[in-house]
Structure 1
Amino acid sequence: MRALLVVNPSATTTSARTRDVLVHALASDLKLEVATTEYRGHARDLARRAAEDGNTELVVALGGDGTVNEVVNGLLSGGPDPAGLPRLAVVPGGSTNVFARALGLPNDVVEATGALLNALREGTERTVGLGLASGTPGTDDEGVPERWFTFCAGLGFDAGVIGRVEQQRERGKRSTHALYARQVLRQFLGEANRRHGTITLERPGEDPVEDLVVSIICNTSPWTYFGSRPVYATPEASFDTALDLLGFAKLSTPAATRYVAQLMTSTPERGPRGKHVVGLHDLTAFTLHSQVPLPFQMDGDHLGLRTSVTFTGVRRALRVIV
C-alpha cells in the first residue's frame, strides 16, 4: 500500500526519536513517503496533493487535532468521496487528541502505531461522518471558505477560551489543563453577554432558538478531555450520525458553576441539563447568527470572529483506519 505520512515536527508529545521509530515501523509494512510540515496549512496542501495524485491509498497524520483537521480538509478539498479518496489514519501527537481517542485509539504514540499496524494487517476501517461549516449567504461572512471539522466547533464562549489559550501559547506558555482552566475563568469574567446571549439558532422548518450565550457543536462524544477524564457535552453525538448541539441561554455565576459541575461529572448517558440548556441531536443543517461578532473555533483552532455560520452534518464522509 502506498502511503503518505504527514508529520508535524511541533507535535506536543512526540520527539525526533519517537518519529524515527514510527517511520521505521510504518515503512516495514507500507510504501511510505514522509513529509514534514513547514507552515500553517501545509498538512492540508500535502493531503490535497495526495488525494489528487490517484496513487496514494493512505494518509497518516502524526500530530494533534489541528494537524488532523488540516489533513482532513486537504483530503476533502474536492468533496466527500469515501470510495475514491485515500483512507485516513491518525497517530496522536498533540496535547489532547480528541479525534484519535474518540476513534478508540491509544493516547500514546507507540501504542497507537502498533494499533495502526494491526488494523492495516487486518484490513479494519470505518467510514465516519464529519461536520462542514461555511459562510451564510446574504451575510458579511458569505465569502468565508468552507471548512470541515472532525469532532467539534463552537461560536462564542468556548471559542473565546481557545483564543485566549492560543495567545498564551504564543507567549511561550505550555498547553496544560491548568492553563485552560485559568482562561475559562478569565473568559467568564470578561464575557459581556453572559446574562443575555446574542446567538440565534435557525433550522429548516423549526422555530428559532434565541438568546444563546454558548453554542457548542459536536460530531462525536466525548466533546473533549480534561486530562484522562472524558467530558460529554452531547452524549448522543456519534461519527455515525449528523451533528449535535449544546447551548446555554444563561451564564450567570450560579448557572456557570452548575454547568461546569455537570460537564465534569458527565457520562455517556447524561450530559448538562436544566431550564436554560438546549440540547439537539442529529442535525443535518442549521445556522447560528449573532447580533455581534463572536469568536469561532473548529477542532480547537481559533478562526477569528464571525456573526453567522452555517453548519452541515455529512454522514459517511471519509474512511478511517481503526
Structure 2
Amino acid sequence: MRAILVVNPKATTTTGRGRDVLVRALRSEVDLTVEYTRRRGHAMALARAAVREGVDLVVTLGGDGTVNEVVNGLMAGTPGDGDAPPPADRRPALAPVPGGSTNVFARALGLPSQWPDATSVILEALRLGRSRTIGLGRADDRYFTFCAGLGLDAAVINRVERARRRGRVSTPTLYLRSIAEQYLFGAERRHPTITLERPGEPAQAELATVVIQNTAPWTYVGRREVNPNPDASFDLGLDVLAVRRLRVPSTTRMVSQMLARQPDPRGRQILRLHDLDEFTLVSERPQAFQVDGDYLGERDKVRFTSVTAALRVIC
C-alpha cells in the first residue's frame, strides 16, 4: 500500500521526535512518503497530487485546517473528470492523526484525542482492513468535514486567528473571551440580516447567525462537547441551528442547552433543521464565513449541499 504523510510542522501537540516515531510506525505497515506543508493551501496541492499518482492512503498530522485542505485536494476531480470528484473507492483513503489543538474531525470519528493512541487505532485498522465511508458538506466550492458557519461563530474564529498571529496560544479561555467580545461589540446581535432559503419551503429571514453541521459535536471546550445539533451525522444530510435574535437571556439559555449532557437547544429565537440536502444563505451585508474552524473571509451568499458517501476514512 502506497501512502503519503502530510505533516503540518506547526502542529501544536507533536514534536520532531514524536513525528519520527509516527513515521517509523507507519512505515511498518505501508510504503510511506513524508511531505511537510510550507504554506496555506500546500496540503491541498499535495492531496491533489496523491489522487493523480494513484496513492492508496493519505495520512495527516495536523489540526482540522490541515485535514480540511487535504479533503478538498482529495475531492478534486481527476484529469478529464471535470468538476465531478471520483467515487470514494477510486480516491485515496484518509487517516487523520490528531496534531492540532482541538481535532474535532478525528474525535468525531471516534479516534483518541492524543496522537500516539490515535496512531495505534489507525495502524490496527490498516492491519484489519477496517474503514468507513462518510458524507461531507459543501459550501459553494469548498468541502467541509464537520461544520461551517456564517455570522457570529465565524467572526469569533476570525478574532481567535488574529490573536494567534499575535502570538497567543489557542486555549478555551481565548475562545471564550473572543465570544464575549464579538457578542458585545459585533453587529450580528443588533442587526440580523441573514436569510435561509430552501427549495419548495418558505424563506427564514432576519437570522443573526447560522451554524451548519455535518456531524456532532460542533466543537469541544477542552474535553466537553458543544452540541448545537446533536442529531447531525456523517451518514445523513446537513443540520442547521440558526439564531434570530442574540438576546442575553435566550443566548445564555441556548449555550447552557448546548453544553448539557443531553443537548437539545430550543426556544423562540432558535431555528433548527435536520438532514438537509441543500439550502442557501443570503445576507444583506457580507458576513464572516468559516468552514471546519478556518476563517475564509466575508460572504453575502453561500450555497450549501450535502455530498453523501464522499470519502473513505481509516479509523
TM-score (norm 1): 0.94
Residues 1:93 and 2:99 aligned together: yes
Which runs of 5 or more structure 2 residues have no equivalent in the other structure?
78-84
C-alpha displacement of 1:80: 4.6
Aligned residues: 308
Partner residue, 1:44: 44
- How far did 1:261 drift? 1.6
One-letter identity of the residue aligned with 2:69: E
Instruction: Give the whole-Å Cα distance in 2 for the aligned partners of 1:39 and 1:197.
Output: 36
Which of the numbers 131, 140, 162 marks the counterpart of 2:137? 131
**How far is the alpha carbon of 1:275 from its aligned partner?**
1.0
Structure 1 residue 192: Cα displacement: 2.0
Question: Which residue does 1:64 correspond to in 2?
Answer: 63
Secondary structure (helix, strand or coil) at the match of 2:187 reads: coil
Regions of 4+ moved over 2 Å: none
Structure 1 unmatched runs, 5+ = 135-145
Partner of residue 29, structure 1 = 29
User: What fraction of aligned residue pairs are identical, expressed as a percent?
Assistant: 57
* Residue 179 of structure 2 corresponds to residue 184 of structure 1: yes
Shift of the 288–151 alpha-carbon distance from structure 1 to 2, 3 Å rule, reads: same
The residue identity in structure 2 corresponding to 1:89 is A
1:266, distance to aligned residue in structure 2 (A) = 5.1
Q: What code does the residue aligned with 1:262 have?
A: Q
Change (3 A) 1:201 1:318: same
Q: SS in structure 2 opposite 1:207?
A: coil
Contact 2:188 2:209 in 1 (8 A): no
CA distance in 2, matches of 1:191, 1:173: 21
Distance 2:218 2:188 in 1: 24
Is 1:295–2:288 an aligned residue pair? Answer: yes
CA distance in 1, matches of 2:258, 2:20: 39
How big is the shift at 1:191? Answer: 2.1
Alignment of 1:92-241 (within 5 A): 92-134=98-140, 146-241=141-236
Matched residue type, 2:103: N
Distance in 2 (alpha carbons) for counterparts of 1:283 and 1:266: 25
* Deviation string, structure 1 residues 259-311 (Cα, Å, up to 9, x no partner): 222222253xx321111111101111100000111100000000001000000
Aligned CA distance change for structure 1 residues 310 and 238 (closer, same or farther; 3 Å): same
Query: In structure 1, what is the Cα distance between the partners aligned to 2:10 and 2:4?
Result: 18
In structure 1, what residue type is equivalent to 2:308? R
Equivalent residue in structure 2 for 1:278, among 271, 287, 292: 271
Q: Give the equivalent residue in structure 1 for 2:8.
A: 8
- Mapped partners of 1:314, 1:271: distance in 2: 26
SS of alignment partner, residue 280 of structure 1: strand
Give the Cα–Cα distance (whole angstroms) in 1 for the partners of residues 12 and 241 of structure 2: 29
CA separation in 1, counterparts of 2:25 and 2:158?
37
TM-fit CA distance, 1:255: 1.8
One of 290, 293, 313 as aligned partner of 2:306: 313
C-alpha separation between the residues in 2 aligned to 1:320 and 1:273?
Answer: 33
Measured in 1, the distance between the counterparts of 2:264 and 2:21 equals 40
Contact 1:232–1:266 (Cα < 8 Å) also in 2: no
CA contact (8 A) 1:293 1:307 kept: yes
Work out the CA distance in 1 between the residues paired with 2:10 and 2:191. 40
Amino acid at match of 1:253: V
**Cα distance in structure 2, aligned partners of 1:177 and 1:46:** 31
Instruction: Name the CA distance, whole Å, in 2 between partners of 1:77 and 1:198.
Output: 33
SS in 2 for 1:180: helix
Task: Report the Cα distance in structure 1 between the residues aligned to 2:305 and 2:14, rounded to whole angstroms.
Answer: 34
- 3-state SS, counterpart of residue 33 of structure 1: strand
**Partner amino acid for 1:8?**
N
Q: What displacement does 1:242 show?
A: 1.0
Q: Deviations over 1:119-138 (max 9, x none)?
A: 0001110000000111xxxx
- CA distance in structure 2 between the aligned counterparts of 1:19 and 1:243, rounded to whole angstroms: 35
TM-score by length of 2: 0.96
Shift in Å at residue 196 of structure 1?
Answer: 4.3
Query: What amino acid maps onto 1:71 in structure 2?
Result: V
Task: State the match for 1:141 in structure 2.
Answer: none
Matched position secondary structure for 1:206 = coil
